[in-house]
Amino acid sequence: MTWSESEIAALVEPDRVHRKAYVDPEIFDLEMERIFERLWIYIGHESQVKNPGDYYLARVGRQPMMMTRDWNGEINVLYNRCPHRGAQICSARKGNAGKLFRCSYHAWMFELDGRLESVPGAKGYEGTRFDMSSPDFHIRKAPRADNYRGFWFASLAEDGPDLKTHLGRAGLALDQLVDRSPDGEIEVVGDCFHMIQQSNWKLFLENQIDASHPGATHESTGAAARSVENEMKKDGKQPPMSYGFLSDFVRHGIDGWDKFGTTGLPQGHCTLEGYMGLRPDDPDTNEYVERMYASYGEEKAEEILGVDLHHVLLYPCNSVQPPLQQLRTIRPIGPDRTLSEIWHFRLKGAPEAIYQRSLAYYYLVNSPSTMVNADDLFNWWKCQHGLESNAIEWVSFHRNAGQDTEEGGIMYSAPSSMSELPMRSMMHAWRDYMTANGAGA
């Protein structure tokens, strides 16, 4: 079928969403066209392309893209497609191209910003419509590329809100990633983990700020971590602080996650607040706080460290955990297939122990051997398969529906709830994007 805008709009009700939003291939294509190839999509951090000649591939919607650092030191976002006969310019995920890109097929040469530098056998083009200076023969640039504090995004729409406007209040997540560094600078560590989610991209976003799932989903991991902690203590050993990331799952029980407020922003961004401040009173943290004071002054440093955002979703593609320096980005491949890239950062100027904390979270929660996402990924896979059933057409987001409050365009969850506000809020934004009729986002 071809979906009309009113049919799409009818998939989203105030407290429930139709399953077709998750499983229908045509809806998926429309999402790529109207959301992923129009909104600001995360490309990567500037530290992924440190040196001139560096490139790093990224997918935006259905488009193969790459971020490059040219010889003027500028960052560019280009389509990874040769203007001659279509070969991908770069096939390795990342690398350094040297002075020029050389297409492997017929050796057209390009500057790192995409401009065509030379073609072999140029004589053959005399008297044809080929024109060295025409953009048709350059590697095409993303219509818009911009960065927010070193995080690069691209929009494949010529116009629409600028990046800062799109991020709005959710830009605080990226501010937090950077401001928590005493030097005001961060750096990606190593390469990211690449994990395929065998499920719809929206299931991932919904899960990230779903306070009602950890106690249930991660019970086994929480229980195992707690039993090891207890045994270590009995043997007079101090369990690593990072085990607490896991034993927390049972400490709060299944119902005890109502302390954590959520918000929903008009662009679809969401936050989960207050889950773990990670401001324990240990020598490493205190040393870190000292360095923050020294850099920013006490008042400003406290303001930075006082922001207790556990999780922020930058719609439609990022999940950011500022207190733990984690950033995940998703790149949908099909209705039931999503690639995720999982990054973590080093706070320059912070004690090594603070990085080790972030690394421990990266390992325990986000690595390919994680005992946490093992159950999340499996749940999403099960949801994807369950939603193939038409026995029940609707996905329920009824928890605390009708109890959200609004202030200044931001939706707030009911106090002491594990409200499904973020899911409702995201799907309302989804409906608006999907029915915006190409009128920008």
Partner 1 sequence: MGEAAEKLAAGDRFSSAKVSIETQLAVERFLYRQAEILDEKRWDEWLTLFAEDGHYWMPVSEDQEDGEGVPNIFWENLDMMTMRIRRNNHPQAHSQAPENRLCHVVSNVIVESEDPNGDVVVRSRFHCAEYLRYDIRNFTGKYRHYLKKTAEGYRIALQRVDLVNREGPYEYVIQWWL
How far is residue 194 from each of residues 93, 96, 174, 346, measured CA to CA in Å? 11, 21, 21, 19
Q: Are 208 and 275 in contact (CB under 8 A)?
A: no
Q: Name the packing angle between helices 219-234 and 243-251 (round to 10°).
A: 120
Other Cβ atoms closer than 10 A to 89: 25
Residue 62 CB, nearest distance to ligand FES (Å)? 20
Matching residue, tokens 């931001």: 410
Closer to ligand FES at the Cβ: 87 or 333? 87
Per CB under 8 A, does 58 bind partner 1? Answer: no
Residue 121 is which amino acid?
G
Q: Which residues of 123-152 are buried (b: 16+ CB within 10 A; e: fewer)?
A: eeeeeeeeeeeeeebbbbbbebbbbbebbb
Partner whose footprint covers residue 363, from ligand FES, Fe ion, partner 1, none (CB < 5 to 8 Å by kind): partner 1
Q: How far is the CB of 232 from Fe ion (least distance, A)?
A: 25
Burial class (CB in 10 A: 0-12, 13-18, 19+), 426: buried
Number of residues that bind ligand FES (CB under 6 A): 8
From 32-40, 83-91, 214-222, 228-236, give the range in contact with ligand FES by CB under 6 A: 83-91
Please choose, out of 79-87, 237-245, 304-312, 318-326, the segment that lies near ligand FES by the rule CB under 6 A: 79-87
- Looking only at residues 57 through 116 of this chain, which bind Fe ion when binding is defined by CB under 5 A? none
Q: Which two tokens stand for residue 385?
A: 């398969």
Q: Is 398 in the site for ligand FES (CB under 6 A)?
A: no
Site for partner 1 in 212-251 (CB under 8 A): 219-221, 223-225, 227-228, 231-232, 239, 243, 246
Q: Which lies closer to ligand FES via its Cβ, residue 49 or residue 82?
A: 82
What are the residues facing 298 on neighbouring strands? none
Nearer to ligand FES, 84 or 169 (CB): 84
> How many CA atoms does the CB half-sphere of 27 hold within 13 Å?
21
- The distance from CA 62 to its chain's CA centroid, rounded to whole angstroms, is 17
According to DSSP, residue 141 is labeled B
Cis peptide before 322 (omega within 30 of 0): no
- Residues that contact Fe ion, how many (by CB under 5 A): 1
Q: Which does 95 bind (CB under 5 to 8 A by kind): Fe ion, partner 1, ligand FES, none?
A: none
Q: How far is the CB of 242 from Fe ion (least distance, A)?
A: 16
Residue 31 sits in the site that holds Fe ion (CB under 5 A):
no
Q: Choose one: 45-53, 127-135, 144-152, 375-383; the region binding partner 1 (CB under 8 A).
A: 375-383
Give the whole-angstrom CA distance, residue 28 versus residue 22. Answer: 8
Residue ranges in 85-124 that form contacts with ligand FES under rule CB under 6 A: 85, 87, 103, 105-106, 108
Q: Please say which residue, 235 or 407, places its beta carbon nearer to partner 1.
A: 235
CA 169 – CA 41 distance, rounded (Å): 17
Taking CB under 6 A as the criterion, the residue among 32, 47, 53, 84 binding ligand FES is 84
Q: How far is the CB of 373 from Fe ion (least distance, A)?
A: 7
From the list partner 1, Fe ion, ligand FES, none, which binds 82 (C-beta under 5 to 8 Å, kind-based)?
ligand FES
Helix or strand or coil: residue 275? coil
**Given 68, 285, 321, 373, the residue binding partner 1 (CB under 8 A):** 373
Indicate the residue among 77 and 188 with the shorter CB distance to partner 1.
Answer: 188
Considering only residues 361 to 400 of the shown chain, the ones binding Fe ion according to CB under 5 A are: 376
Nearer to ligand FES, 63 or 262 (CB): 63
Angle at CA 166, nearest 5°, toward 180 and 58? Answer: 75
Residue 347 parent element (H or E): strand 337-347
Binds partner 1 (CB under 8 A): choice among 135, 253, 274, 368: 368
Q: Compare residues 89 and 157 and give the one whose CB is closer to ligand FES.
A: 89
Alpha helix (H) ranges present in 71-218? Answer: 163-167, 172-179, 201-208, 214-217
If you write DSSP's letter for every residue of 177-240 in order, what string do you get?
Answer: HHHTSTTS-EEE-SPPEEEEESS-HHHHHHHHT-TTSHHHHTHHHHHHHHHHHHHHHHTT----
C-beta of 220 vs 405, nearer to partner 1 = 220
Closest CA to 192 of 326, 317, 42, 314: 326
Q: Binding ligand FES by CB under 6 A: which of 60, 82, 278, 426?
A: 82
Could you tell me the smallest distance in angstroms from the CB atom of residue 54 to ligand FES?
21
Q: For residue 424, which amino acid is it?
A: R
Interacting residues toward Fe ion by CB under 5 A: 376
Interacting residues toward partner 1 by CB under 8 A: 93, 189-191, 193-196, 198, 219-221, 223-225, 227-228, 231-232, 239, 243, 246, 339, 344, 352, 356, 359, 362-363, 367-371, 373-375, 377-379
Interacting residues toward ligand FES by CB under 6 A: 82, 84-85, 87, 103, 105-106, 108
